[in-house]
Chains A and B, each alone.
Chain A
Amino acid sequence: MELPLVGQLVVNGLSMGMVYVLLASGFNLILSTPKILFIAYGEFYMLGAYILWGLTQELELPFFVALCLATLATGILGGITYRLIFQRIEGHFLAMIVAAIGLMMLMAQGTMLVFGTEARGMPSLFTGMIIVGGIRISVERAVLIIIALAVLVGLHLLLQRTNIGRAMRAVSFNADVAALQGVNSNRTYLLAMVVGCALAGFAGAIMTPVFAVSPGMGAITFIVLLVVMLGGIGSMLGAIVAGLVLGVTLSFGQYSVGGGVAQIIFFAVIAILIFFRPGGLLGKAREEVPL
């Protein structure tokens, strides 16, 4: 492989990796705060993409307005699902997984029936290329990476500097002790769910100009699961490292060996890593979940 191709694959991988990072951070938030293994997460990603597509193509709203609306809508939907379903079975670990699986099937097939199986594209927002040392980077992907970075910084500030973020971290550390300190854990769970789902919707929405929208997008959950596993459950820095690593490697993997084999290799690598480092790359080994 000569240099420009390698550079191309790296940039493509990084832009996809940023999306994995966004998704993994949101997934981590839901996994560590309300303790839901939210398998339906990818469907929110897909929904965000569909909402953005509908708003920009059908209603002809400007991109950034549609982006905000899509993020808001998926966040609110996430809150509604939490109130309707997960709040009632809070603490029932298996029940929450099963309900999330049900939600995934419902949303995936529902979108398929409403929108059909064909992929829908939209014209790219930014045309043009930046050429750095023979590597052609499309402006679109560069913008995607920058926006995603900005949102990540925002999420970091939200988690570290605001009371809401402190409450989330406290509840994820120990819900009972946090409740004793006066943290309303139910509201915190709801907020974590809203923020998490909004992140998924946002990631889906910024991907829309680059990739076509299709009902199969929800399958990204399973890559996100690997990212979360690789980075360590509950670790945001881990999610960033793992997301970028996985994005770049998958980009090379799809180019050289094909998606199926890449996935097999990933399972093997992560299983071996987990064997030696139970907490993933940067996470701590967790106590086992009470069943």
Chain B
Amino acid sequence: MEKLGKKYRFNQINIRSGKLIGLVVLGVILVLVPWLVRSPYHMHLLIMVGIYAVLAMTFIFLLRTGLISLAIAAFWGIGAYSSALLAMRLDLSFWLALPLSTIITGIIGFCIGYILVRNPGFAFIILTISFGMAIVHVFGTFDVFGGYVGITRIPAPDPIPLPFLAPIEFSRVSKTAYYYLMLFLVLIVVLALYAFYSAWTGRAWRAIGLSPRLAESLGVNLFRYRLVAFVIASAAAGLMGSFYAHYMQSLVPGAFDLFKTIYVHIYAILGGIGFAISGPVIGAFIMTIVPELLRVVKEFEPIFTGLFLILLVLFLPNGLLGLLSLRQRVERPSESIARVGRWIRAYLPTSRSEHENRK
């Protein structure tokens, strides 16, 4: 398992000014994307990249506590369905349904996790697989969930009123508002994961990731910390599910089956398991954009994907980012961001306080 994950750890929040400037530049580029990408279809792909990237992040997040979950898409689906039902049956606004469905998914994650997390290893994997299969049948069988044909006409998010300006409308034609909402949600998830990782929970998870047995002997309650990780991962998946439901405005149970989870695993592994935030983003981006460019025939797609998976684990176990860092001194994407930031700062007039520091 050394190749696929053990030796890596989350880099802690350590924002030096160079990194800060680099992040600001990256943020500005992301904010400017709607002006660069004109086609609504490409915007749609980018929004899906955001959603998938978060799902892959939750996978890596769980993997580092020693849980291989194959029910990620199931919790994504629970978030989507609960949000859709809250909005349609109870007439709640999207802005209320979003946090509520996140909480609901978290609670369901707690109940399921309370049973499953006790037996990590094979039992956990097998049970998450069967949970993922069962949940599709739950969505398909009961009438509340709209059966196998799914739910349609889920309301779009209400417009946000702005003082002195036109309200922000969520239209499916120009997906700009959805794009910004996606960016905001991804940012929330990333910050939340960072926050949990820099708190005491993060220290326990890191210890469990390095050696469960050693951690347990030092008094870390494996079950409790793994359960917390499971609940957080489910809630994050539920958040993206809620967004997905109101973005697509229709849901079918088949969208949340095991294959979606498998794709989520591909995103994470392609980007590199050692890279908790940037790996999933890059993996999801490549896996979403490249098949579009190649225009793969739908029937052949699983064959290519299967072959690709096998080749990936055989020849590229550390992912694409791992490949980059093999060449030379390891430079993580966060370091590159910091480097760009320092480079930019070199051309800025030095401020007074920094001048004094240099003396």
Instruction: Decide whether A and B are members of one complex.
Output: yes
Q: Which residues of A contact B (CB under 8 A)?
A: 31, 37, 39, 85, 88-89, 91-99, 101-110, 112-113, 222, 225-226, 228-229, 233, 258, 260-261, 263-264, 266-268, 270-272, 274-275, 278, 285-291
Question: Contacts of A105 on B, CB cut-off 8 Å?
Answer: 259, 262, 302-303, 305-306, 309
The contact of A37 among B6, B126, B140, by CB within 8 Å, is B126
Question: Contacts of A263 on B, CB cut-off 8 Å?
Answer: 130, 133-134, 137
Once the chains are docked, how many angstroms separate the CA of A291 from the CA of B138? 32
B207 to chain A minimum Cβ distance, whole angstroms, is 14
Question: Contacts of A272 on B, CB cut-off 8 Å?
Answer: 115
Query: Once the chains bind, are A94 and B122 in contact (CB under 8 Å)?
Result: no
Query: Once the chains bind, are B306 and A109 in contact (CB under 8 Å)?
Result: yes
B147 to chain A minimum Cβ distance, whole angstroms, is 11
B65 to chain A minimum Cβ distance, whole angstroms, is 9
Query: Once the chains bind, are A289 and B121 in contact (CB under 8 Å)?
Result: yes
Query: Once the chains bind, are B130 and A222 in contact (CB under 8 Å)?
Result: yes
Contact with A along B283-304 (1 / 0, CB 8 A): 0000000000000000110110
Contacts A101-B262, A109-B303, A270-B130 given: A288-B4 contact, CB under 8 Å? no
Query: Once the chains bind, are A102 and B309 in contact (CB under 8 Å)?
Result: yes
Once the chains are docked, how many angstroms separate the CA of A291 from the CA of B122? 11
Once the chains are docked, how many angstroms separate the CA of A93 from the CA of B2? 10
The contact of B303 among A95, A110, A286, by CB within 8 Å, is A110
**27 A-B pairs with C-beta separation under 8 A:** A91-B1, A92-B4, A92-B313, A94-B5, A94-B273, A96-B313, A97-B68, A98-B312, A98-B313, A101-B265, A102-B306, A105-B303, A109-B300, A109-B306, A113-B299, A226-B130, A260-B137, A263-B133, A263-B134, A263-B137, A264-B137, A267-B133, A267-B134, A271-B112, A286-B122, A288-B121, A288-B212
Contacts A88-B314, A106-B302, A288-B212 given: A94-B4 contact, CB under 8 Å? yes
Once the chains are docked, how many angstroms separate the CA of A39 from the CA of B261? 14
Question: For the complex, would chain B's binding face be called helix, strand, loop or mixed by DSSP majority?
Answer: helix
Nearest residue (CB) in A for B129 is A225
B107: interface (CB < 8 Å): no
Most A-side CB within 10 Å, residue of B116, B121, B317: B121
Contacts A106-B306, A109-B299 given: A278-B134 contact, CB under 8 Å? no
A94 to chain B minimum Cβ distance, whole angstroms, is 5
Question: For the complex, would chain A's binding face be called helix, strand, loop or mixed by DSSP majority?
Answer: helix
Query: Once the chains bind, are A289 and B115 in contact (CB under 8 Å)?
Result: no
Contacts A105-B302, A113-B299 given: A286-B309 contact, CB under 8 Å? no
Contact with A along B239-274 (1 / 0, CB 8 A): 000000000000000000001001001000100010
Once the chains are docked, how many angstroms separate the CA of A98 from the CA of B273? 13
Once the chains are docked, how many angstroms separate the CA of A274 from the CA of B299? 38
Query: Once the chains bind, are B120 and A288 in contact (CB under 8 Å)?
Result: yes
Once the chains are docked, how many angstroms separate the CA of A289 from the CA of B66? 9
Once the chains are docked, how many angstroms separate the CA of A222 from the CA of B126? 9
CB neighbors of A among B79-133 (8 A): 112, 115-116, 118-123, 125-127, 129-131, 133
B200 to chain A minimum Cβ distance, whole angstroms, is 22
B63: interface (CB < 8 Å): yes
User: 5 nearest interchain CB pairs?
Assistant: A102-B309, A106-B306, A105-B306, A289-B121, A260-B137
Once the chains are docked, how many angstroms separate the CA of A113 from the CA of B259? 19
B276 to chain A minimum Cβ distance, whole angstroms, is 15
Query: Once the chains bind, are A291 and B306 in contact (CB under 8 Å)?
Result: no
Once the chains are docked, how many angstroms separate the CA of A89 from the CA of B115? 31
Query: Once the chains bind, are A106 and B303 in contact (CB under 8 Å)?
Result: yes
B232 to chain A minimum Cβ distance, whole angstroms, is 19
B343: interface (CB < 8 Å): no
Once the chains are docked, how many angstroms separate the CA of A229 from the CA of B126? 7
Question: Contacts of A266 on B, CB cut-off 8 Å?
Answer: 130, 134
Contacts A222-B133, A228-B126, A271-B127 given: A85-B303 contact, CB under 8 Å? no
Nearest residue (CB) in B for A223 is B130
The contact of B306 among A91, A104, A261, by CB within 8 Å, is A104
B237 to chain A minimum Cβ distance, whole angstroms, is 19
Query: Once the chains bind, are A106 and B317 in contact (CB under 8 Å)?
Result: no
Once the chains are docked, how many angstroms separate the CA of A115 from the CA of B184? 47
The contact of B314 among A89, A226, A289, by CB within 8 Å, is A89
Query: Once the chains bind, are A290 and B1 in contact (CB under 8 Å)?
Result: yes
Question: Contacts of B122 on A, CB cut-off 8 Å?
Answer: 31, 37, 233, 286, 289
Query: Once the chains bind, are A94 and B212 in contact (CB under 8 Å)?
Result: no
Question: Contacts of B63 on A, CB cut-off 8 Å?
Answer: 94, 291
Query: Once the chains bind, are A92 and B306 in contact (CB under 8 Å)?
Result: no
B266 to chain A minimum Cβ distance, whole angstroms, is 8
Most B-side CB within 10 Å, residue of A94, A99, A272, A291: A291
A256 to chain B minimum Cβ distance, whole angstroms, is 14
19 additional A-B residue pairs with CB within 8 Å, beyond A233-B122, A275-B115: A39-B129, A92-B1, A92-B317, A95-B317, A97-B125, A98-B265, A99-B314, A105-B305, A108-B302, A109-B299, A109-B300, A225-B126, A260-B140, A263-B130, A263-B133, A263-B137, A268-B134, A271-B112, A286-B121
Contacts A264-B141, A274-B119, A291-B1 given: A109-B302 contact, CB under 8 Å? yes
Question: Contacts of A268 on B, CB cut-off 8 Å?
Answer: 134
A277 to chain B minimum Cβ distance, whole angstroms, is 10
B24: interface (CB < 8 Å): no
Query: Once the chains bind, are B66 and A261 in contact (CB under 8 Å)?
Result: no
B254 to chain A minimum Cβ distance, whole angstroms, is 13
